[in-house]
């Protein structure tokens, strides 16, 4: 058995949107990766407002992909004069990209140029398990976990403040939207932690509610009518 994970391979649709042949789905909206990250994941979690005045703020993401959500979060944090002192970002990815494919894809987002270059300078070997990257002089911590979310996430001992649910479509990648995973995410969430995702699929909403989250539909990004936002309910 190989000691390396099976990497993703960069492919694009006719309009240039990165696409996964393995899952039959795009990595982000064709209307814009950065804009989607800001609308769905940052605004959906009340960021940057919620990290203000905090010493430490932790984000947990399902599906690192090309790193757009992380880079958008890092950029928003850097540009916020009232930002938290330390930003911790944890992301799990079963099929990470090679450094070569990351370089090609991230070149299409010039606003990320310097932070993306710093990320790639520390990009780890594609070996299963957790890889810790120390960025922005130590103020930003990226914990990249290469492997199956259902296997790797239960190993964590964290209390996350915000959840980015960004797997491929539930129809294409059902394990990242299962009740089992939602229950794992609830265990890893701080009281009143928030979540956001672009999907409003009925079974996803039901799984999140059963796991202990309150969820609501909000206006979606670009051509998508709705998205989902939620909060971890306090124990009864």
Domain boundaries, the chain: 11-232
Q: Closest by alpha carbon to 176, among 186, 165, 187, 189?
A: 165
CATH of the structural domain 11-232, one choice from 3.40.30.10, 3.30.360.10, 3.40.50.170, 3.40.50.150: 3.40.50.150
Tell me the per-residue pLDDT of 31-67, one tens digit each, with 9 for 90 and over.
Answer: 688 999 999 999 999 999 999 999 999 999 999 999 9
Query: Cβ of 13: how many Cβ atoms within 10 Å?
Result: 10
Q: Which two tokens stand for residue 62?
A: 């399902």
Question: Do β-strands 189-197 and 86-93 pair in parallel, antiparallel, or remain unpaired?
Answer: unpaired
Question: What's the pTM?
Answer: 0.95
30 neighbors 14 (Cβ within 8 angstroms): no
Q: What share of the chain is helix, strand, coil (3-state, %, to 5)?
A: 35, 30, 40
Q: Closest by alpha carbon to 163, among 234, 58, 59?
A: 59
User: How much of the chain, in percent, has pLDDT values that exceed 70?
Assistant: 97
């Amino acid at each position: 058995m190989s000691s390396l994970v099976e990497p993703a391979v960069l492919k694009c649709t006719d309009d240039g949107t990165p696409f996964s042949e393995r899952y039959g789905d795009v990595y982000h909206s064709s209307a814009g990766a950065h804009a989607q990250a800001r609308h769905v994941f940052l605004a959906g979690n009340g960021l940057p407002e919620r990290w203000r005045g905090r010493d430490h703020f932790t984000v947990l993401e399902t599906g690192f992909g090309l790193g757009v959500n992380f880079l958008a979060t890092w950029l928003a944090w850097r540009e916020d004069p009232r930002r938290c002192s330390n930003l911790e970002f944890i992301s799990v990815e079963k099929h990470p990209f090679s450094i070569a494919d990351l370089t090609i894809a991230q070149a299409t987002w010039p606003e990320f140029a310097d932070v993306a270059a710093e990320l790639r300078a520390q990009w780890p070997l594609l070996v299963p398990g957790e890889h810790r990257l120390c960025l922005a002089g130590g103020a930003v911590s990226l914990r990249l976990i290469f492997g199956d979310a259902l296997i790797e996430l239960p190993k964590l001992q964290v209390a996350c403040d915000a959840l980015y649910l960004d797997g491929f479509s539930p129809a294409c990648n059902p394990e990242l939207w299962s009740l089992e995973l939602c229950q794992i995410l609830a265990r890893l969430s701080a009281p009143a932690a928030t979540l956001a995702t672009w999907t409003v699929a009925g079974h996803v909403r039901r799984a999140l509610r059963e796991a202990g989250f309150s969820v609501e539909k909000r206006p979606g990004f670009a051509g998508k009518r709705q998205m989902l936002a939620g909060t971890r309910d306090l124990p009864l």
